[in-house]
Structure 1
Amino acid sequence: MPKITNPRAFQIYEVQGKTIQNSTYPHETNRPHRHKYYEICVFITGAGKHEIDFESHPIHSNSVHFLSPGQIHLISRENDYHGYLMVFSREFYGVEAGQEDILFALPFFNNPTLVPILNLRRDDFEELLHLIVSIRKEYLRWDGFTSEILRHFLQIFLIKCKQYYLRYFADKNKTLDPHFAFVQQFNALVEQRFRQVHQVQDYASMMAMSPSVLNKYVKNITGFTAGEVILDRLMLQAKRYLIYTDLSNKEIAYQLNYQDPSYFSRIFKRKTGKTPSDFRKSENEKYQL
């Protein structure tokens, strides 16, 4: 396990009201933004909305929202908002080089096919809130032992969140289905390889199964074919590039391994109803970017 002593590898903030009154918070909060670290938003009182990857979600009391590196989001808070924001790096969590990334085993991270939101019953939320308060207390008295203590607290917190997530979404997301784990593995592979690998048969080969079997499992769990999952992930990344880079449509096509930029533009319009250029223009006007 790596020895992390840099406090910025893990940070936690208590937030009350519409804005974060903390100059060390790592990003602007008045416009959609993305970051390279993981973020957990704990909402004690629900007030406002949370936009995650171009979809808007109401903020409910007793809820936890999860953000993965690269996701675009914006929290619009109201005056009676109260909660915590916790951010951490992949390295802080203890993922070592060459190790299978355990963060990809958590259903609410790195997984565009599942909603990264957990709305909890009050008693279940209180259990998580107790952990958050302990994490905050330890963070504020940082010393030579804090990094290791916080890492274990964080791992316990996320495992508890996974327990609740699988329980709460057992029916909707078929988390108790014996093939759910295979679909999670597929989603993780897509998240890691989608820029280079576009074909279902290639993912099936990585998972040592036939394309038809993989497609059957994915369709049963998600309601989408494996090909649709891959394409949706590509289009999501295209949207992110269009909003947060100055890359041309042609350059974005090449970034996503489309050798024919006109084909990429046709696919994008078919999936979104807008050309890449029109999408960029409308989003820039929406947020005055």
Structure 2
Amino acid sequence: MGEPIKIYEMPTNTNQRAFQLYEVQGKTIQNTTYPHETDRPHRHTYYEICVFITGAGKHEIDFEAHPIHSNSVHFLSPGQIHLISRENDYHGYLMVFSREFYGLEQGNEDVLFQLPFFNNPTLVPILNLTQADFSELLNLILSLRKEYIHWNNFSSDILRHYLQIFLLKCKQYYLRYFADTNKTLDPHFSLVQQFNALVEQRFRQVHQVQEYASLMAMTPSLLNKHVKNITGFTAGEIILDRLMLQAKRYLIYTDLSNKEIAYQLNYPDPSYFSRIFKRKTGKSPSDFRKSENEKYQL
């Protein structure tokens, strides 16, 4: 197997390391301070927001390909594997920030789990906006950029507040745009978000719906009912899908054996893990690893 998919940390060579903003034009990022190369699939320990003014190309996020449209925003959470393939007429901005940077003032880093497009594998992390709505977000980006360029002792706090406003506006648009398809206005939507956040935090150790229901002080049947109504999937399916997504990540960016991956995901029987993986993906773990490595020539 070739080089594993890289994981990138926040850069440490500037005083803006907890928050960075880059303007990008064309196929490649020319800014030498950008934290990594982007011509291969990779993942981050930080959050990234991709703002596409003129869209051209495709964006692969956790093995799903999405076309890049003009006037759109894509959201990436820590650990997600992605690759942006840009065309020559691409123009946009990238914002990267740490979990601690966003939650510092509120004393709660988990506020990011309250945003539907982060840390939530059941929802599409993409907003394709109208020109009018996108213009409002772009104005906030330009304000962020101005403050970022003229960095001073107040800039961290100012940038954090601008970022919070930006993401709240994105949440407002997300709830409006996806109200029908994802039932984001349903009174139980926040409960399902809480469930998704718990799954994201505990899926390696906790596989059973009843355990999540206990953590949420409700019955498994009631949890299943609300999750199914909001997402179209049972709570058990969401847990299993998250486990299989992590298995795919292990297969691609590590040299762990199938047995070791099963152990990492708390499956005591590796053969059972392999059967579940093949049932969900149509390929054995080994065949999946081989086909993805050939795809990206890893």
Whether TM-score is above 0.5 comes out as yes
Cα distance in 2 between the residues matched to 1:97 and 1:142: 22
- Matched residue, 1:163: 172
Matched, 1:248 2:229: no
Distance of aligned partners of 1:100 and 1:81 in 2 relative to their CA distance in 1, 3 Å threshold? closer
The answer (yes or no) to whether the contact 2:100–2:109 under 8 Å persists in 1 is no
Matched, 1:8 2:17: yes
The answer (yes or no) to whether the contact 1:108–1:114 under 8 Å persists in 2 is yes
Cα distance in 1 between the residues matched to 2:40 and 2:187: 41
Aligned partner (choices 24, 36, 40) of residue 27 of structure 1: 36
- The 3-state SS of whatever aligns with 2:92 is strand
Cα distance in 1 between the residues matched to 2:20 and 2:191: 33
Distance of aligned partners of 1:163 and 1:97 in 2 relative to their CA distance in 1, 3 Å threshold? closer
- Matched residue, 1:204: 213
- CA apart distance, 1:138: 0.7
Corresponding letter in the other structure for 1:153: Y
- CA apart distance, 1:6: 3.4
- The 3-state SS of whatever aligns with 1:176 is coil
- Matched residue, 2:103: 94
Cα distance in 2 between the residues matched to 1:194 and 1:101: 17
- CA apart distance, 1:21: 0.4
Per the normalisation by structure 2, the TM-score is 0.93
Structure 1 segments unaligned to the other structure (5+ residues): none
- The 3-state SS of whatever aligns with 1:11 is strand
- CA apart distance, 1:99: 3.5
The answer (yes or no) to whether the contact 1:95–1:101 under 8 Å persists in 2 is no
- CA apart distance, 1:94: 2.3
The answer (yes or no) to whether the contact 2:103–2:109 under 8 Å persists in 1 is no
- Matched residue, 2:192: 183
The answer (yes or no) to whether the contact 2:99–2:109 under 8 Å persists in 1 is no
- The 3-state SS of whatever aligns with 1:50 is strand
- Matched residue, 1:273: 282
Mean alpha-carbon deviation: is it higher for 5-14 or for 227-236?
A: 5-14
Aligned partner (choices 38, 55, 65) of residue 74 of structure 2: 65
- CA apart distance, 1:26: 1.2
Aligned partner (choices 105, 112, 119) of residue 121 of structure 2: 112
The answer (yes or no) to whether the contact 2:57–2:85 under 8 Å persists in 1 is yes
- Matched residue, 2:86: 77
- CA apart distance, 1:96: 7.6
Corresponding letter in the other structure for 1:180: F
Cα distance in 2 between the residues matched to 1:100 and 1:207: 20
- CA apart distance, 1:9: 1.1
Corresponding letter in the other structure for 1:197: V
Distance of aligned partners of 1:276 and 1:171 in 2 relative to their CA distance in 1, 3 Å threshold? same
Corresponding letter in the other structure for 2:268: Q
- CA apart distance, 1:143: 1.3
- CA apart distance, 1:142: 1.1
Aligned partner (choices 52, 65, 83) of residue 43 of structure 1: 52
**% identity of equivalent residues:** 87
Cα distance in 2 between the residues matched to 1:89 and 1:99: 13
Cα distance in 2 between the residues matched to 1:6 and 1:245: 32
Cα distance in 1 between the residues matched to 2:52 and 2:109: 31
Mean alpha-carbon deviation: is it higher for 5-14 or for 261-270?
A: 5-14
- Matched residue, 2:3: none
The answer (yes or no) to whether the contact 1:95–1:102 under 8 Å persists in 2 is no
Q: What is the count of residue pairs matched by the alignment?
A: 285
Cα distance in 1 between the residues matched to 2:109 and 2:255: 33
Cα distance in 2 between the residues matched to 1:189 and 1:212: 17
- The 3-state SS of whatever aligns with 2:44 is coil
- CA apart distance, 1:24: 1.5
Cα distance in 2 between the residues matched to 1:70 and 1:104: 14
Per the normalisation by structure 1, the TM-score is 0.96
Provide the aligned C-alpha RMSD in A: 1.3
Q: 1:127-178: per-residue Cα shift (whole Å, max 9, x none)?
A: 0000001101111111111111111110110011000000110000001111
Cα distance in 2 between the residues matched to 1:172 and 1:138: 37
Matched, 1:194 2:203: yes
- The 3-state SS of whatever aligns with 2:267 is coil
